[in-house]
Amino acid sequence: MTNNEEFRVLSPTAILGYGFPESSFKRGIERQPHLIAVDAGSTDPGPYYLGAGKAFTDRAFVKRDLRYMLKAGVANNIPVVIGTAGGSGASVHLQWCRQIIHEIAREDKLSFKMGVIPSDINKDAVKKALTEGRISPLACVHELTENLIDETTYVVAQIGIEPIIEALEAGCNVVLTGRCYDPAVFAALPVMKGYDEGLALHMGKILECAAIASTPGSGADCALGILKKDSFILEALNPKRKFTCESAAAHTLYEKSDPYHLPGPGGAINLEDCSFTDIGDGRVEVKGSRFEKTPRYWIKLEGARPIGYRSISIAGTRDPIMIAGIDTILAEVQQQLNEMSGDNDGSQKLFFHVYGKNGVMGPLEPLLQTSSHELCIVIEALCPTQEQADTLCSVARSTLLHYGYEGRISTAGNLAFPFSPSDIKMGQVFEFSIYHLMDPAGEKLFFTSIESFRNGQKF
């Protein structure tokens, strides 16, 4: 590799299914990228989607985004790599996204070779690792137990660049993975071709969110990364946006508790000597990132378990008397409900989320005085069954609606409801039960299955 060589990566969108302007994508293809890559998932939407095996992006728009990527990739002989299929990357999500790719192949008569890499981990393997002391909780996470493993619906591991490289080396034009370390889909191919791993992973860390790291940022727009021997360049593909040193550096801090180190499978990106330089035309050059291997090759496990069922009711109030005394009123309503539900063993839980006061931060809210002229109150019931949740939500809503608080003038309802019916069944609720690191102890966990298509037909 010479100093003049470069590897161009097109990132169409922050998450597959978020969409992107066709004009931005075409500009990206005109730059003749060596790779089209996209991160399709995250734990950001919470544990429900992993636990329930549901996608959190819309199928029609996932198919729309994929069609652009696959058609351009096949027509221009550009590899396409998709990570964390279906949003959470478990087997059910992987199959969901795989079927969409099959449909596109048939409808557009595409010819390509696809590597599919599941990332599900057998529960017995997790229990064995737990027994052998190869499981470690992340910060502020509970210790793992066999009961938690049993109650978890799907267990996935974040794969690194190695399984993707294996699929690419096998000649796959398209690679679809289960749960994947976000930067890995962008970094695997350039690392395979000899580019620096630290720079490739750092560039992938920024490209995983596409144009969010530009200004003004957008998760529904394209970005281009240009990897060189000793640096990489970030470039927006929409004339409305540009990269700045501030926007690129800010996104480098995204989702990190340590500003200088970003851990991943087998090591961490060290950013202590990282620099950002504005090179004009809305482009930023980044240098100094390096990858440092850890003594043990840790991978992150994720899993969620069901904990009950939820019902909610959304209401508003504009009464200044109620707003002034809202904390006392809600506490008194809670006490009255406790007295009315004497047989509650603690498994039925009620929450009031007060937006306009502390609905976002709850007890961590530093501004203690409410100055809003109106409040939104979300009543949440969490119970072992949907019927119990419906009942608790209904009783809480009616009690608060007619509660006679001090200073109350009107004897009508205290609340305004924007929807009828006022109570909404939310269904099953999940919580993260596994959010831990595992040392595979040298065992191969990820295997690629290869599918070939000719004129849209699998053979």
CB 179 within 8 A of CB 89: yes
Of 188, 185, 134, give the one whose Cα is nearest residue 165. 188
Query: Is the confidence at residue 2, as pLDDT, over 80?
Result: no
CB 237 within 8 A of CB 224: yes
- One-letter identity of residue 50: L
Residue 344 lies in a domain: yes
- At 139, is the pLDDT very low, low, confident or very high (cuts 50, 70, 90)? confident
Is residue 339 located within the same domain as residue 191? no
Is residue 47 located within the same domain as residue 167? yes
- At 368, is the pLDDT very low, low, confident or very high (cuts 50, 70, 90)? confident
CB 292 within 8 A of CB 421: no
Is residue 166 located within the same domain as residue 22? yes
Top-ranked range on mean pLDDT: pick from 367-371, 406-410, 415-419 = 415-419
- What is the reported pLDDT for 345? 79
Show the domain range for 162: 7-119+158-298+439-458
Q: Calculate mean pLDDT across residues 195-208.
A: 97
- What is the reported pLDDT for 343? 66
Residue showing tokens 């931060």: 361
Higher pLDDT, 23 or 3: 23
Query: Is the confidence at residue 309, as pLDDT, over 80?
Result: yes
Residue 127 lies in a domain: no
Residue 330 lies in a domain: yes
Residue 128 lies in a domain: no
Is residue 44 located within the same domain as residue 167? yes
Of 247, 242, 243, 228, give the one whose Cα is nearest residue 289. 228
CB atoms within 10 A of CB 403: 17
- What is the reported pLDDT for 150? 98
Q: Calculate mean pLDDT across residues 141-163.
A: 97
Main-chain phi, psi angles of 21, to 5 degrees:
-70, 135
Structure tokens at 131: 């027994």
Is residue 231 located within the same domain as residue 367? no
3-7, 122-126, 200-204: range with lowest mean pLDDT: 3-7
Is residue 112 located within the same domain as residue 186? yes
SS (HEC) of the chain: CCCCCCEEEEECCCCCCCCCCHHHHHHHHHCCCCEEEEECCCCCCCCHHHHHCCCCCCHHHHHHHHHHHHHHHHHHCCCEEEECHHHCCCHHHHHHHHHHHHHHHHHHCCCEEEEEECCECCHHHHHHHHHCCCEEECCCCCCCCHHHHHHCCCEEECECHHHHHHHHHCCCCEEEECCECCCHHHHHHHHHCCCCHHHHHHHHHHHCCHHHHCECCCCCCCEEEEECCCEEEEEECCCCCECCHHHHHHHHCCCCCCCCEEEECCEEEECCCCEEEEEECCEEEEECCEEEECCCCCEEEEEEEEEEEEEEEEEEECCHHHHHCHHHHHHHHHHHHHHHCCCCCCCCEEEEEEECCCCCCHHHCCCCCCCCCCEEEEEEEEECCHHHHHHHHHHHHHHHHCCCCCCCCCCCCCCECCCCCCEEEEEEEEEEEEEEEECCCCCCCCCCEEEEEECCEEC
Is residue 64 located within the same domain as residue 100? yes
Is residue 311 located within the same domain as residue 265? no
Residue 148 lies in a domain: no
Query: Is the confidence at residue 190, as pLDDT, over 90?
Result: yes
Structure tokens at 420: 């009828």
Q: How many domains are contained in the chain?
A: 2
Query: Is the confidence at residue 5, as pLDDT, over 80?
Result: yes
Q: Are strands 299-317 and 375-383 parallel, antiparallel or unpaired?
A: antiparallel
Residue 382 lies in a domain: yes
Taking the C-alpha atoms of residue 115 and residue 436, their distance in angstroms, rounded to an integer, is 27
Q: Calculate mean pLDDT across residues 265-281.
A: 95
Structure tokens at 109: 């008569």
Instruction: Calculate what percentage of the chain has a pLDDT beyond 90.
Output: 92
pLDDT in tens, 153-173: 999 999 999 999 999 999 999
CB 415 within 8 A of CB 400: yes
- One-letter identity of residue 193: K
Of 396, 415, 300, give the one whose Cα is nearest residue 348. 396
- What is the reported pLDDT for 441? 93
Contacts of 459 (CB under 8 A, 6+ apart): 452, 453
- What is the reported pLDDT for 7? 98
Query: Is the confidence at residue 217, as pLDDT, over 90?
Result: yes
Is residue 260 located within the same domain as residue 185? yes
pLDDT in tens, 56-69: 999 999 999 999 99
CATH number for the domain spanning 409: value is 3.30.70
Q: Calculate mean pLDDT across residues 212-217.
A: 95
Is residue 201 located within the same domain as residue 334? no
Residue 263 lies in a domain: yes
- At 80, is the pLDDT very low, low, confident or very high (cuts 50, 70, 90)? very high
> Cα 194 from chain centroid?
29
Q: Calculate mean pLDDT across residues 336-360.
A: 89
- What is the reported pLDDT for 335? 93
Contacts of 393 (CB under 8 A, 6+ apart): 311, 312, 313, 379, 380, 381, 423
CB 65 within 8 A of CB 19: yes
- Mean residue pLDDT of the chain comes to 95
Q: Are strands 290-293 and 267-270 parallel, antiparallel or unpaired?
A: antiparallel
Residue 353 lies in a domain: yes
Query: Is the confidence at residue 300, as pLDDT, over 70?
Result: yes
Is residue 113 located within the same domain as residue 237? yes
Edge-first strand order for the sheet with 290-293 is 261-264, 267-270, 290-293
- What is the reported pLDDT for 3? 62
Q: How far apart are the first and last CA of the chain?
A: 37
pLDDT in tens, 94-112: 999 999 999 999 999 999 9
Is residue 98 located within the same domain as residue 181? yes
Query: Is the confidence at residue 4, as pLDDT, over 80?
Result: no
- What is the reported pLDDT for 1? 58
Query: Is the confidence at residue 253, as pLDDT, over 90?
Result: no
Main-chain phi, psi angles of 104, to 5 degrees:
-65, -40
Query: Is the confidence at residue 192, as pLDDT, over 60?
Result: yes
Computed on alpha carbons and rounded to an integer, the radius of gyration of the chain in Å comes to 25
